[in-house]
Structure 1
Amino acid sequence: MKAKWLAATIFASTGIAYGQSSVTLYGIVDSGVEYYNNSSTKGSFVGMPTLTGEVPSRWGLRGSEDLGSGFEAFFVLESGFALSNGTLGYGGRLFGRQANVGLSTPLGSVTVGRQMNMSMYALFDADVIGPSVHSMASFDTYLPNARSDNAVGYLGTFGGFKLGATYSFGRDAAGPVGPSATNCPGQVPGNILACRQYTMLAAYTGPQFGAAASYDVMRGGNGATAPLSSPGATDAHVIVDGYVSFGSGKVGMGWVRRNTSAGSHAQSDLFFLGGNYFFTPAFSADAQVVRYILRSHSDSTLMVGRLNYLLSKQTTLYTSVGYVINSEFGNAPVAAGGTVATGKNQFGVMLGVQHKF
């Protein structure tokens, strides 16, 4: 009792007070049945997707405490999983999507831990399809997995303008299973470059239009997944995109340039144009065309259409259709996590259900 009284006296004398706090359990459970032809075994596939439906399945805990004067402490713990078999995603990590703590201030928020970096924030508004089963993930698996381990991040909102940055001391501590697991934990004494990553963002978000630009540089590490298997190797993404909203619809477009210094110094360009429209509050349609060019090697074009019907605020039925056209040496699959025979076009369709809580 004396200890509790002493602590209360110290808090009172220093002006420290307990603020209002809350913890929220949330999640999305999303899956269905998909089909695609011309797999790498030259047959067709019918089954459940392992990576994503309309969006990846996840659950999480989000907490915050009001500290007063515009300050707030917060944390996020978010886990991704495959609904088809119950396994953990993101390299088998319990909280592979996010695991961070931070402080929000009138000048922006500072976050420490595994977190979404600025490449993901740059795509939020312009990419109307998102990390779906048929999406730009077919060309660059990093885009729907743009997260950084061991990172310190800042994000500030000033009116409609946003400025943000992250710096990672070791960008990916998981491996080697999964598209987001590259076995590059970094934080090596005496090697300041190993597995470092930094991302930057400048954006404007308004009710009728918006635009965003981001820059993202990843470094390799000894023993990490190729091609970033040495600290001198880099993988850089530049994203420039925007959107225009009108009535019940929106059009989004953008460009993603990727440069990889390792090996043959590969360079690619990805262009996307899409839109969505709500015919009624419960029924909407999405469409997108993605053009991918891998310099001096191949090119591919993906066309996606999706219909969504809300049974309630929490439950949605959807169907997604995709068709990818590959050049002679192109090997982009129509479905995330799928396979395709080199040089073959591919058709895919999925029927799914999504429930939010």
Structure 2
Amino acid sequence: MKKLSLTLAPAMALAAAAGPAQAQSSVNLYALVDVNVSHYSAGSKSGAVDDTAVNDGTTNGLNGSRWGIKAYEDLGGGLKAGVLLESGVLADTGNLGQGGRSFGRQGYIFLSSASLGELRLGRQYIFEDSVMWQTNPFGNALTLNPGTGVTNVGKGLPFWLNAPRADNVIQWQSLNYGGFQAAVQVAPQEGAQDRFHGLKLSYGAGAFNTAVSYEWNKSQTESGNVNRSLTLAANYDFGSVKVLGGVQRNSELRTTSGNGAFIGSNLVVTGPVSFTAEQINGYTLGAEVPWGRFLFGANYTGVKYESATGQSLSLGKVALGARYGLSKTTFVYASASQATGDLKDYIAQRSVTQAGLRVSF
């Protein structure tokens, strides 16, 4: 997205007077607004009714609406320091997103080195979000998004896990070595929150990209680790078509961690049988096709919910979407999805159709 640079003359003058160690600073202000209209056809056993809603882009959109500030200072010798503050805005209502946080999307400080990589401290995206982004057309967007949850007989139920942020995160990311890059995250145990850990390894070379993340919590209330989440992605761009896919495996799921890969409040699955899920395992496969200013996409995503005693139920969705670029920063889009599997009649989103507009500056 475009970024509006604000020149702070007095500060720059002071930086210049201070000498080469403060040679350059910048402050960038940016914003994005995304709104869509979605129609939901409910499953016959879901207890829900068909519904039409105006949504912010956080639901079925290309991007969640936001505004943010990014600033950095060049300290010289390949060292930079900076901050990123990003606020989520629900453009359909004007309310703050992420539970009403002032900077709920991101809020961190960073120090980067041309030889050692980058250190970040604060609220930031966890790794499974960026890995999952590589598995599906449009990158975690529209009704093709594997990370969009469902309403199962009145209760929110995750599809693929996608938190997608964590608080109090300490992150280090390496430099890129021949296409390979590694990163690690730790969020210490604070208050009632479990300690959170994350690892990521990625590789990109030309048309081929792949990445894997593994995340878990160290539980305060029981021995061992919980909310283990492994996400693997790969895609290849043939030019006329881009093929994308991935898998996710989640085990020892608990609702009590409060921070990390799973922060939901419900794992009770209601269908032909009912049980509490301890594992959620999924896969997705899709394709993107560019055509002029259009980008078309299609995918299928499936999950299986499993209890500790071996009960299981499946849920899937087939989805189609299209995006048209009116400019480099303004897009119109539309998509549709249809649920499959054991739980298709038990969710409020058995079929979804939507169309929207996204503008950034």
Task: State the TM bucket, normalised to the shorter chain.
Answer: 0.7 to 0.9
Spell out the pairing of 1:1-357 with structure 2 (5 A cutoff): 17-38=21-42, 40-49=46-55, 51-52=58-59, 53-106=61-114, 107-134=116-143, 135-139=145-149, 140=158, 143-156=161-174, 157-170=176-189, 186-187=190-191, 194-219=193-218, 234-262=226-254, 266-280=278-292, 282-295=293-306, 296-328=311-343, 331=346, 333=347, 339-340=348-349, 346-357=350-361
Q: Quote the Cα distance in structure 1 between the aligned partners of 2:62 and 2:303.
A: 21
- One-letter amino acid of the counterpart of residue 196, structure 2: Q
Give how far 1:236 is off.
Answer: 1.2
Taking structure 1 as the reference length, what is the TM-score of the superposition? Answer: 0.79
Give how far 1:64 is off.
Answer: 1.5
CA gap of 1:26–1:144, structure 2 versus 1, over 3 A, is farther
Q: Quote the Cα distance in structure 2 between the aligned partners of 1:123 and 1:70.
A: 31
Q: Is the CA contact 2:290–2:296 (under 8 Å) kept in the aligned structure 1?
A: yes
Q: Quote the Cα distance in structure 1 between the aligned partners of 2:162 and 2:31.
A: 17
CA gap of 1:33–1:213, structure 2 versus 1, over 3 A, is same
Q: Is the CA contact 2:277–2:305 (under 8 Å) kept in the aligned structure 1?
A: no
Q: Quote the Cα distance in structure 2 between the aligned partners of 1:207 and 1:329.
A: 39
Q: Quote the Cα distance in structure 1 between the aligned partners of 2:172 and 2:242.
A: 28
Q: Is the CA contact 1:298–1:330 (under 8 Å) kept in the aligned structure 2?
A: no
Larger relative contact order (CA 8 Å, sep ≥ 6) = 2
Q: Quote the Cα distance in structure 2 between the aligned partners of 1:133 and 1:318.
A: 8
Q: Quote the Cα distance in structure 1 between the aligned partners of 2:160 and 2:337.
A: 20
> The residue matched to 2:95 in structure 1 has which SS?
coil
Give how far 1:187 is off.
Answer: 4.4
CA gap of 1:110–1:216, structure 2 versus 1, over 3 A, is same
CA gap of 1:91–1:233, structure 2 versus 1, over 3 A, is farther
Instruction: Answer 1 or 2: which has greater strand percent.
Output: 2
- One-letter amino acid of the counterpart of residue 284, structure 2: F
Q: Quote the Cα distance in structure 2 between the aligned partners of 1:208 and 1:238.
A: 24
Q: Is the CA contact 1:117–1:165 (under 8 Å) kept in the aligned structure 2?
A: no
Structure 1: stretches of 5+ with no match in the other structure: 1-6, 171-185, 189-193, 223-229, 334-338, 341-345
- One-letter amino acid of the counterpart of residue 356, structure 1: S
Q: Quote the Cα distance in structure 1 between the aligned partners of 2:277 and 2:159.
A: 18
Q: Quote the Cα distance in structure 2 between the aligned partners of 1:92 and 1:84.
A: 14
Q: CA RMSD in A?
A: 2.6
- One-letter amino acid of the counterpart of residue 28, structure 1: L
CA gap of 1:25–1:231, structure 2 versus 1, over 3 A, is farther
> The residue matched to 1:121 in structure 2 has which SS?
helix
Taking structure 2 as the reference length, what is the TM-score of the superposition? Answer: 0.78
1:77-107 deviation line (CA, Å, top 9, x unaligned): 1111211101111121111110000111122
Q: Quote the Cα distance in structure 2 between the aligned partners of 1:239 and 1:73.
A: 31
- One-letter amino acid of the counterpart of residue 293, structure 1: K
Q: Quote the Cα distance in structure 1 between the aligned partners of 2:64 and 2:288.
A: 20
Q: Is the CA contact 1:56–1:132 (under 8 Å) kept in the aligned structure 2?
A: no
CA gap of 1:158–1:74, structure 2 versus 1, over 3 A, is farther
Give how far 1:261 is off.
Answer: 4.6
- What fraction of aligned residue pairs are identical, expressed as a percent? 27
Q: Quote the Cα distance in structure 1 between the aligned partners of 2:300 and 2:24.
A: 46
Q: Is the CA contact 1:257–1:269 (under 8 Å) kept in the aligned structure 2?
A: yes
CA gap of 1:11–1:309, structure 2 versus 1, over 3 A, is closer
CA gap of 1:294–1:197, structure 2 versus 1, over 3 A, is same
CA gap of 1:132–1:86, structure 2 versus 1, over 3 A, is same
